[in-house]
Chain A
Amino acid sequence: MRRFKKALSVSVAAAMAVSMMACGSTPSDTTTAAPQGGDKTTEAATTKSGGEAETTKSAASGDKIKMRVSWWGSQTRTDRTMEVLNAYGEKNNIEFDYQFYQWDDYWTTMSGFTTNNALPDIMQQDYAYIGPYVDKGLLVDMNQYKDVMELDKVDESILSSGNIYGKGLYGMSLGTNVLCVIYNKTVYEQAGVDMPTNDWTWDEWVSSVKTIYEKTGVHSDIPFISDPKWLIEYISRSFGETLYNEDGTGFGFTDKTIDAYKKCLADIKEMVDSGALVDPAVQVTWKANEDGDIVKGKSASAWTYSNFYVDYQGILEKNAPDNELDLVLMPKIDGATEKGNYLKPSQFFSITKDSKYPEEAAKVISYFVTDVDANKILLAERGVPVSQSVRDALKSSVDPKQAYTFDFISSVGEYCRAIDNPEPKVAAEVINAFKDGYHSVLYGETTPDEAWETFENDAALIFG
């Protein structure tokens, strides 16, 4: 869905980006245009001369604070986020200014803001981007504001995922996901194949796909066709290696990972050829959640994030009412020595260096993730809530499917290992080159060995 909407707004994005770069200033820079000195824009700033203690007082004494918050995502997310923040602002005398975009436009706009020091006070961040932002000193360490945040309510593992490069708490996770295989229980039953468990292996996945196809004619999805990086990252982690090296200047894996990946790819290709997996020419055209075969009961399994389960099951119930989906972790890679899975922060809230009220912003974020009432509005739209108390309180009020993913996330903890360092800034291009290799094998244009060689050449150029 995200990609579909992204496509729709792409020309807008381009136009905006161009105009932004051309004039070097943005329309909505009135509130935070001058973070250091020259604060003529807000009354609070002129009457109280900066400093966190004063800022807090000014909020209490009746002067309205203006604060900008930005995020990407669906309309549902936008509506719920605004509802929560408006209610908070009412009580705490904060006037929020919202900036929301689709994924691509979001990052283009934000990088524009970095050039004229006009980042919003609170910005939604992603694990793929937060690394460079921390490197450039664009974000604020939230540990400074520990006292005003209710960090004890947030799971320890969540806090460590926002501890970027071990330098400090630069991101507060807003929800948790895990990569998994969503499979159609009904189809598995019909084919007489054993239900997968979290301990299943790659070979078991392969044989289940083949058996189901032979017995019922139902194919399965190709793993991660639009982002095969997840596959190789999982493989490398399974051998205790990492996708990128420590300082993000090259790969962090050895031949073990490469060989295992080539073998997996060969298996996939074989099943594509036999028809047991979807034709890649068809699968690449699926954009929205509604497009995939898994939601039509025509695919036995799909590899994706656990938060898609709710949506998938909902759509499937309309298309094929007698079908039922279930979640299972990705199958174990042959010879795996380590736990490959990890709990992924779906996205973060971060305080930027351009914020004039970092302490107020910290309070907002804390409220956002730990307050039960706020989360009853948000309804886990950003992934499983990061606070146990919120999860418990929400279980009764959310959709049973949603509650099911809460349980799933809690139950897979023992299969997970801490997340790797954030991605280097060249990651987007590396990932794309990797996808090229994956696709050229799926389309039968080259072999896994040749594809890997091309990819290594590309990567050498990208890492520079």
Chain B
Amino acid sequence: MSAETKPAKQKDIRIKRHWYDNEGLAGYIFIGPWLLGFMLFMLIPILLSIYFAFAKYDLLSPPEWAGLQNFINLFTKDRLFYQALKVTFSFALISVPLRLIFALFVAMILNRKSKMIAFYRAAYYLPSIIGGSVAVSVLWRTIWSQDGVINGILGLFGIESTISYIGDIHWAFWTIVILYVWQFGSSMLIFLSGLKQIPTTYYEAATMDGAGKMRCFFKITLPMLSPVILFNLVMQIINGFMVFTQAQIITQGGPNNRTLMYVLYLYNSSFKYNKFGYAAAQAWILLAIVGFFTAIIFITSKSWVFSEADDGDKPKKKKKKGVKAA
């Protein structure tokens, strides 16, 4: 009996092996749609944009090879390029830390037990859902206009203000910073989940030893949260350099180019002035800048990100992927 069944089994196995039984193939089929989309809408345009960066291209006629001319013009002659860099750097360096501090602050408050906590979380996250939208930017313009809500509120307190914030060369930049900081929701949620993972025993022990609230925060919360802070910092720096909608809708880069964000200038170069080659060069410079800052954060992170045991490499890898995708 046993001699009979054995070969039969083997035969069965042989018959069942079809070409589609290849596990690798199934995998490729599953990622196929994504791969196709990636090739068509990401990879090919990205490769093309490398070529455009070294060409003159106005869409109406085929691109012409221009060598390094786009980069030379950008770096040596273009006043607005430096203005855009200046604005974007100040923006990223001011608004990102502010947003993170704010997000952490609110996350700490929401990390308590209360009946209304779910409601508060939703309420604080709301600005982030609607925040990047065009509608909010339009709203912002009305809030900060000369006869807008802000001046109205100041008036209630007896402060006569006729500042037209979004048209004022000193204020316009700050209205966008405030809008950006206000949209702290996603960083806040990430902080919140990070806070929840800190074992309460640490705090109990520290409190027993007589540590105050501040001490607990700086000695336990911050170090334990540092991998999450790293993640948020990297993501927000990238976002900060890529800010566009707010500046385009609220100020169009004005007044007098005080809010000319880098991506807005890039957009103008391509869609307003039809200089697609020039814009591609700008885009690659932006990539280099963002990459540089991300690299700096990662290199310095070794000295300020606390990780338990050798687990430290793990979150790092994750973040690198995130950067590429962004």
Contact = CB atoms under 8 A, between A and B. Distances in A.
B73 A461 contact: yes
A10 interface: yes
A10 B248 contact: yes
A426 B167 contact: no
Interface stretch (B3-11, B179-187, B266-274, B290-298): B266-274
Interface in A449-464: 454, 457-458, 461
B273 A426 contact: yes
Contact of B45 (A11, A22, A457): A22
A225 to B, nearest CB: 10
A7 B267 CA distance: 13
Contact of B274 (A111, A280, A443, A458): A111
Given A11-B245, A281-B167, A281-B169, A111 B256 contact: no
Given A10-B134, A280-B255, A285 B145 contact: yes
Of A426, A436, A439, chain B has the most CB atoms within 10 Å of the CB of A436
Interface string B128-160: 000000100010010001100000000000000
B80 to A, nearest CB: 8
Contacts of B138: 7-8
A434 to B, nearest CB: 13
Contacts of B58: 425
B285 interface: no
Contacts of A111: 59-60, 274
A440 interface: yes
B168 A281 contact: yes
B136 to A, nearest CB: 12
A255 to B, nearest CB: 23
Contact of B167 (A21, A23, A282, A445): A282
Interface bracket on A: 35 or more
A417 to B, nearest CB: 30
Contacts of A432: 268, 272-273
A115 interface: yes
B52 to A, nearest CB: 10
A194 to B, nearest CB: 32
Contacts of A11: 134, 245
B77 A13 contact: no
A86 interface: no
Interface string B243-259: 00100110010111100
A89 B257 CA distance: 48
A283 interface: yes
B79 A440 contact: no
A136 B73 contact: no
A138 B59 CA distance: 13
B310 to A, nearest CB: 42
B40 A23 contact: yes
Of A13, A115, A281, A457, chain B has the most CB atoms within 10 Å of the CB of A281
A114 B167 CA distance: 37
A284 interface: yes
- Name A's interface SS: helix
Contacts of A132: 60
B271 A108 contact: yes
A183 to B, nearest CB: 23
Nearest to B69: A464
A23 to B, nearest CB: 7
B96 to A, nearest CB: 22
A279 interface: yes
A284 B79 CA distance: 22
A219 to B, nearest CB: 13
Contacts of A8: 134, 138, 249
Contacts of A21: 45
B201 interface: no
Given A10-B248, A108-B271, A280-B167, A439 B73 contact: no
Interface in A277-296: 279-285
A440 B146 CA distance: 20
A440 B255 CA distance: 9
A283 B145 CA distance: 11
Nearest to B49: A21
A443 B168 CA distance: 9
B90 interface: no
B41 interface: yes
Contact of B169 (A7, A428, A443): A443
B78 interface: yes
A429 interface: yes
A445 B255 CA distance: 12
A11 B58 CA distance: 21
A336 interface: no
A279 B164 contact: yes
25 contacts: A7-B138, A10-B245, A13-B271, A21-B45, A22-B41, A22-B44, A23-B41, A104-B271, A111-B60, A114-B60, A115-B59, A132-B60, A279-B167, A280-B167, A281-B163, A282-B167, A284-B255, A285-B141, A285-B166, A285-B167, A425-B58, A425-B274, A436-B256, A439-B254, A440-B256
Interface of B: 40-41, 44-45, 58-61, 73, 77-80, 134, 138, 141, 145-146, 163-164, 166-169, 245, 248-249, 252, 254-257, 267-268, 271-275
Shortest beta-carbon contacts, A-B, top 7: A281-B167, A111-B59, A282-B164, A281-B164, A429-B273, A284-B167, A285-B167
Interface of A: 7-8, 10-11, 13-14, 17, 19, 21-23, 104, 108, 111-112, 114-115, 132-133, 136, 138, 279-285, 425-426, 428-429, 432, 436, 439-440, 443, 445, 454, 457-458, 461
Given A111-B60, A279-B167, A280-B167, 12 more contacts: A108-B271, A112-B59, A133-B60, A136-B60, A281-B168, A282-B167, A285-B145, A426-B273, A432-B273, A443-B255, A457-B77, A461-B78
